[in-house]
Amino acid sequence: MKFLDQAKVYVRSGDGGAGAVSFRREKFIEFGGPDGGDGGRGGDVWVECVDGLNTLIDYRYAQHFKAKTGVHGMGRNRHGAKGGDVTLKVPKGTEILEEDGETLIADLTEVGERLLLAKGGNGGFGNAYFKTSSNQAPRRANPGLPGEERWIWLRLKLIADAGLVGLPNAGKSTFLARTTSAKPKIADYPFTTLHPGLGVVRVGNREFVLADIPGLIEGAHEGTGLGDRFLGHVERCGVLLHLIDATGDDVAEAYRVVRGELEAYGNGLDEKPEIVALSKVDALSPDLLKGRIKALKKAIGREPMTLSAASGEGVDDALRVIWRTVDKGRRAVDDMSPVGKAETWEP
């Protein structure tokens, strides 16, 4: 399935049905009077967060969604039925934005959440509604009110506990394939990963979700390479695993490039807990590896981790560190939640 994380769609709710002008004409009824029914309300447009989706590909070729018009009123005081609703189904983690692409309408992070995007127009009154003591035979009825219309943006931000960042070919996809059941594309050339990937990591009897995004290069925030648009998929992560290719010529510069892009992107990415690790260490001699570790330690101010996703060296240690950070973040969220703490019962 093709991955699509952004789509612009047009939504329009249904117009209200028109009221009817009608009079009773029955044998042996001398003064029938008005009996025109009201029109039905137009259908609404909803957006709903559902399970089983991880892309917005459904909105690649269908961008216009219109609810049904309310049924017109009829004689014999028959009111029109409400027009059919339209529901846009989106995956968990989808943001709804105004047409400007910046104003946030809603952020759907839980399955089952629903949002009314456009309310249907009210139906018009039939002539039976206008009958009064001084106007026994009104010959007027209201048309239905028009529905609402708007353009919106759907933007998907994957929900994961931990995210992988780094330069192209830093070993992110190999790490994801090694630790999860995901099967990302792996090759020996840059930009093998063209869209984000998700996998579930199991550490003992515990689980967390790991996200892999395409590699960053210098100037990504200005559109260089694949740009920084995929960084939105790690905005919700509790911790970032920054992988640096140990076989590179300057590991310190590789670290500074990615950190610079995170800071340029903003949205709190540069403030998230970060675990820095040298990858592909199995390809270096002990002496050369020692030099790489020393250079990176000087750049980041602490001892980096070392691992090799290909051989498995250091991978379990990295997962345990990631899990401890994720678990700490989850506990902090639970402590801040009003329902996270059990209240002590007192008589």
CATH code at 162-336:
3.40.50.300
pLDDT value, residue 341: 47
pLDDT tens-digit map of 137-180: 999 999 999 999 999 999 999 889 999 999 999 999 999 999 99
Do the two domains 1-25+32-156 and 162-336 of this chain adopt the same fold? no
Averaged over 124-130, what is the pLDDT?
96
Mode of pairing for the β-strands spanning 64-66 and 6-12: parallel
Flag whether pLDDT at 2 surpasses 70: no
Structure-block tokens of residue 138: 């009104």
Helices (H), the chain: 172-179, 251-265, 286-300, 315-336
Averaged over 134-138, what is the pLDDT?
93
Provide CB contacts within 8 A for 279, sequence distance 6+: 166, 170, 171, 174, 175, 243, 244, 245, 246, 307, 308, 309
Is 103 within 8 Å of 96 (Cβ atoms)?
A: no
pLDDT tens-digit map of 239-297: 999 999 999 889 999 999 999 999 999 888 889 999 999 999 999 999 999 999 999 99
pTM exceeds 0.85 = no
pLDDT tens-digit map of 63-122: 999 999 999 999 999 999 999 999 999 999 999 999 999 999 999 999 999 999 999 999
Provide CB contacts within 8 A for 326, sequence distance 6+: 161, 162, 208, 238, 239
Give the domain ranges of the chain.
1-25+32-156, 162-336
The residue whose two tokens read 């998929």 is 233
Which homologous superfamily does the CATH classification assign to the domain defined by 1-25+32-156? GTP1/OBG domain (2.70.210.12)
Strand partners for 25:
none
Gyration radius from the chain CA atoms: 30
Report which of 322, 340, 268 is spatially closest to residue 160, judged by C-alpha positions: 322
Report which of 231, 232, 325 is spatially closest to residue 277, judged by C-alpha positions: 325
- The whole-angstrom separation of Cα 145 and Cα 147 is 7
